[in-house]
Structure 1
């Protein structure tokens, strides 16, 4: 190429410039005051030198994954995953291949679909300078080919570690295999070279761009930006990183997750030292939480050289911050659990700050693996997801939750500059918790507890038991107590609207709830007090409250507390404050009731809420999984079967699930105008916060799914 130099004044003759540019297509350098200013080139020159150069800089630009036509599976989101540690023979490839085959057979019998082995599985991690030996390298390749051939009989995606040579560089690799095919090879990105680690002595870090690698004379995808997608269940996207990759600030898994991978496999050889077990588990847990992903951590165990180190086979499976399965150290135990991909997708969809990645150079590699809904899941579902499972009440949890409730009220009291509060205390669970929270708020502010008025308003359905408990509780707490019998007012009101007091329909019930609210509001105005709401999350989700009755208040402290948690908090408060334990424990043991229908002949509660709408523990289970993860009715039913096995039969679960769906959709209009109340747990329904739902949304599609159960 010859350089053409022209002064800027030459630009006046555009025809000559055009002729010069196209004469040889060489660039023309334009000068100004004797110095270079800019360059003119022809279109051909630009296309040949600049566009070509740009395209070559990213020869493997990320392409959208195109789904092949074929059958689609619906495993309800579940993918059974396993992390195995084999009995390693250092540099004994034939032995290690045999152990891997045994593990594959075991995993297949347990219906594992994604199986991960430890780092450098075929050779052992501690082979040292033998990694540079051609014999070991060749044996590793033959071992991979043997495993690929062996796997043709197993519909299982597995990953093994091996040292592989590409051109002049040796790489610490994860080899991904499914049903007879090597799908791709992922090299390690971050090589530790400190303390007991010296991997850079043998290995090179992963290339910046994907390429190919020869294994047994055939070329396969090679690079750190590979994601494997199941064509039969495209929601499943698997990516790999290797040991140290997880311990660095900029782990490859971050980009993998942003580009869609929801299960991250880590092939590791993490030697054991004091305290590392806990740190490792925390790292895996928090990585899965940050990535909103499943994380499979397979660790080297028995058989690795103990010349300088010891390996414990610490296998871990985590999902979005929770350890689903963890093996004991030095036991060579596999970790097997069911990852819920639907749950992960729901979390990622809701967390809009997670977003999609826009990174170059990723390659999506398809494979077709069948998945089916498990008969039983290998993970635990609590019957009461809102409360801890241990038998003893977690008093720290109780104090933490009630402190959040109280601090929400503290801010409101300070804002409105009030040192008085009024609570409608019925002697039931919800009003009791509201009163306890109010007491804690007043204690924090150093307000006189006599500024709290516990007001009971007996009517047609009030039992002696609840009436006496309300009075005794107020006395035990040291708050003011008042009683206003509203029977005569209600009879007058029913007469005004021509409603017979013998007609115990919804009007009869709601009139009582609205009258109580009116009395509370009026007294709050008259005494310059804040009227505290008592309604809980369960009642609000089910619409089991009277619109503009107990549904309304000046501040709702229980708005995000479900019924099962209300009871739990009251139990904890009784343990923390023995002086109020007697009335609290009896309130806890009292059947849940709005007490809006007359008592029986013995003066006992006749109207029991759970006889009408179903067990609250079931509804709280549905509320948690429906609002938290958006599960469809069939999956809600399946989860309840798993959680309540032996307690509720299928017909009972289905019946109350149908009630939940209908009531939840029908009663959004009540939730759309809720009073303020602080969010405490991960599930909340404030129309200003967590639940923006139209009041006229249709439930029909949900009921159709429910009917098909």
Structure 2
């Protein structure tokens, strides 16, 4: 029985459904780990299929393909090199499980099935997986290892059972999506399990984007005394070799890399960049375009796109109408120049007026209102989508959460597109992120150093510029008032009375609630976007469109 163990943490970026490619990633990582002297390589939750697979895992052919890949990887371990712990869907006795497989000596040594299936927020695992029994330890070369999967450490039962059954250390395969502040919550849960069991714990999380979800990695190891032995960097693929020794007090990991993680707005910005990058690349695009209006939202989206893909892969288009101010044209060009992206101007005056003329007999000289305003927005959407179809870049949508919440957006207009990197950012957060990016370029970003958003964009009042001298505050409360009301309604589910008790005008709160409910049908037709907080639309908050409830108690 060895008193030393080398474990490689494989913090990698699998692609949903790309089983052969994911198998290739795993084999390459194992070979690299073998060259470094690893005894065991640990991958993340459902690595071989991608996570979360949602209803894709209900297809028997997908599960069969995943199982064949696991058997291929198991065959590789006949070479006497490192064993493997890897996540996979697994079908057995008519049930499908979220599993981890231990591969060693040319065989599937054993399997463990996820016991606690999350069924809240973005998770819907009870829909597609059967819950496994509380697991016991597995034997790896004379060492009793407790294998658990993600949610299994969010309550005490699984880890306590593993410890009571003789586990010597805990290894947790995770697919834990990013939310602002999530790393601290994960760490607290892991420390609690270490304290309860007296066992060291290795936590391996995936990175990368999968539709709305982003995974930040930030894998770590805690020793039995709760001390942090290893902290991998967030937002980067890493294969990190860690060294363990058996002592009189049990297994301990030698202190290794202890990265300083981004926090707050910087972590949020990295999430936006990662989410957009992987959505674009994993869906077969190589470049993006967006309407660059001279406003803060499109400027921030352009910055995120450049940081995700590089300036040569981003195109900005200014689509002015009669109400577009000369300053907006100047600001849009200045932003494009700072970012180093291609920038073109295409007037929409003639096509908009052609549509207005065609509709005039039906409108019967009625007063101009939002119908005509929306024609401008829809013409921009039509032209941007036509360019996307013809030339190939994906269209980036630029609406923020404040606008999406209250329906201050045009269906088939500025809501057109493939993906929205700021969908879960309130307007006040958009300004804060823009100032952050102007202050410095976050690690891993491909855009230029220095300010990338002109100060004139940051200073001017937000406007859709769909009518003369229009300002957002003509239609909405100031964002400094609107955003905290929206957070209270959406993230906290507070009553109208409770929000008013915070010092907000009750009539304003009631009006905002009405706008939020009325805009549900628009949100159902919006493109996906990066989940950043605890209550994003579509994934976390699911409300009916037909809804007559109003909180007026």
TM-score by length of 1: 0.39
Cα drift, residue 678 of structure 1: 1.7
1:576–1:698 distance in 2 versus 1, CA, 3 Å: same
SS of 1:455's partner is strand
Q: Does the 8 A contact of 2:275 with 2:421 survive in 1?
A: yes
Q: Give the equivalent residue in structure 1 for 2:528.
A: 676
Q: Give the equivalent residue in structure 1 for 2:354.
A: 492
Cα distance in 2 for partners of 1:419, 1:582 equals 22
Residue 388 of structure 2: which of 519, 524, 546 is its match? Answer: 524
Q: Deviations over 1:387-412 (max 9, x none)?
A: xxxxxxx9953332121111111112
Q: Give the equivalent residue in structure 1 for 2:407.
A: 543
Q: Does the 8 A contact of 1:491 with 1:501 survive in 2?
A: no
Residue 478 of structure 1: which of 340, 357, 382 is its match? Answer: 340
Q: Give the equivalent residue in structure 1 for 2:277.
A: 410
Q: Does the 8 A contact of 2:291 with 2:318 survive in 1?
A: yes
Residue 427 of structure 1: which of 290, 294, 297 is its match? Answer: 294
Superposed, which structure 2 residues align to 1:281-430 within 5 Å? 286=188, 397-430=264-297
Q: Give the equivalent residue in structure 2 for 1:441.
A: 308
Cα distance in 1 for partners of 2:395, 2:263 equals 28
Structure 1 unpaired stretches of 5+: 1-252, 256-281, 292-393, 444-448, 599-605, 642-649
Superposed, which structure 2 residues align to 1:39-78 within 5 Å? none
The question of 1:667 aligning with 2:501 is answered no
Cα distance in 1 for partners of 2:494, 2:473 equals 24
Q: Does the 8 A contact of 2:434 with 2:453 survive in 1?
A: no
Cα distance in 2 for partners of 1:583, 1:565 equals 15
Q: Does the 8 A contact of 1:669 with 1:695 survive in 2?
A: yes
Q: Deviations over 1:111-138 (max 9, x none)?
A: xxxxxxxxxxxxxxxxxxxxxxxxxxxx
Cα distance in 2 for partners of 1:290, 1:461 equals 59
Residue 471 of structure 2: which of 594, 601, 608 is its match? Answer: 608
Q: Give the equivalent residue in structure 1 for 2:321.
A: 459
Residue 439 of structure 2: which of 571, 575, 578 is its match? Answer: 575
Cα distance in 1 for partners of 2:481, 2:192 equals 31
Q: Deviations over 1:310-335 (max 9, x none)?
A: xxxxxxxxxxxxxxxxxxxxxxxxxx
Cα drift, residue 254 of structure 1: 8.3
Q: Does the 8 A contact of 2:420 with 2:529 survive in 1?
A: yes
The question of 1:450 aligning with 2:320 is answered no
Cα distance in 2 for partners of 1:432, 1:500 equals 39
Q: Give the equivalent residue in structure 2 for 1:586.
A: 456
The question of 1:694 aligning with 2:544 is answered yes
Cα drift, residue 573 of structure 1: 1.1
Cα distance in 2 for partners of 1:436, 1:442 equals 10
1:455–1:501 distance in 2 versus 1, CA, 3 Å: farther
Q: Does the 8 A contact of 2:437 with 2:452 survive in 1?
A: no
TM-score by length of 2: 0.50
Superposed, which structure 2 residues align to 1:496-515 within 5 Å? 496-498=358-360, 503-515=367-379
Moved more, 397-406 or 527-536: 397-406
Q: Does the 8 A contact of 2:440 with 2:449 survive in 1?
A: no
Cα distance in 2 for partners of 1:693, 1:467 equals 39
Q: Does the 8 A contact of 1:473 with 1:580 survive in 2?
A: no
SS of 1:556's partner is coil
The question of 1:623 aligning with 2:472 is answered no
Cα drift, residue 504 of structure 1: 3.1
Q: Does the 8 A contact of 2:489 with 2:513 survive in 1?
A: no
Cα distance in 1 for partners of 2:421, 2:375 equals 24
1:413–1:254 distance in 2 versus 1, CA, 3 Å: closer
Cα distance in 2 for partners of 1:588, 1:631 equals 31
SS of 2:467's partner is coil
Q: Deviations over 1:88-116 (max 9, x none)?
A: xxxxxxxxxxxxxxxxxxxxxxxxxxxxx
Q: Does the 8 A contact of 2:338 with 2:452 survive in 1?
A: no
Q: Deviations over 1:254-305 (max 9, x none)?
A: 89xxxxxxxxxxxxxxxxxxxxxxxxxx99x958x989xxxxxxxxxxxxxx
- Count of residues paired in the alignment: 297
Cα drift, residue 637 of structure 1: 1.0
1:500–1:490 distance in 2 versus 1, CA, 3 Å: farther
Cα distance in 2 for partners of 1:632, 1:396 equals 31
SS of 2:425's partner is coil
Q: Give the equivalent residue in structure 1 for 2:242.
A: none
1:427–1:570 distance in 2 versus 1, CA, 3 Å: same
1:576–1:408 distance in 2 versus 1, CA, 3 Å: same
Q: Does the 8 A contact of 1:413 with 1:530 survive in 2?
A: yes
SS of 1:422's partner is strand
Structure 2 unpaired stretches of 5+: 1-154, 158-183, 194-260, 442-447
Cα distance in 2 for partners of 1:467, 1:565 equals 24
Cα distance in 2 for partners of 1:455, 1:489 equals 16
Q: Does the 8 A contact of 1:570 with 1:584 survive in 2?
A: no
Cα distance in 2 for partners of 1:690, 1:609 equals 27
Q: Give the equivalent residue in structure 1 for 2:418.
A: 554
Cα drift, residue 433 of structure 1: 1.1
Cα drift, residue 452 of structure 1: 1.0
SS of 2:461's partner is coil
1:481–1:405 distance in 2 versus 1, CA, 3 Å: same
Q: Give the equivalent residue in structure 1 for 2:92.
A: none
SS of 1:453's partner is strand
Cα distance in 1 for partners of 2:399, 2:372 equals 20
Q: Give the equivalent residue in structure 1 for 2:77.
A: none
Q: Deviations over 1:612-639 (max 9, x none)?
A: 2111122211221222221110001112
Q: Deviations over 1:428-471 (max 9, x none)?
A: 1111111111011114xxxxx22311101111221111110100
Q: Give the equivalent residue in structure 2 for 1:318.
A: none
RMSD between superposed Cα atoms in Å: 2.9
1:398–1:500 distance in 2 versus 1, CA, 3 Å: farther
Larger radius of gyration: 1
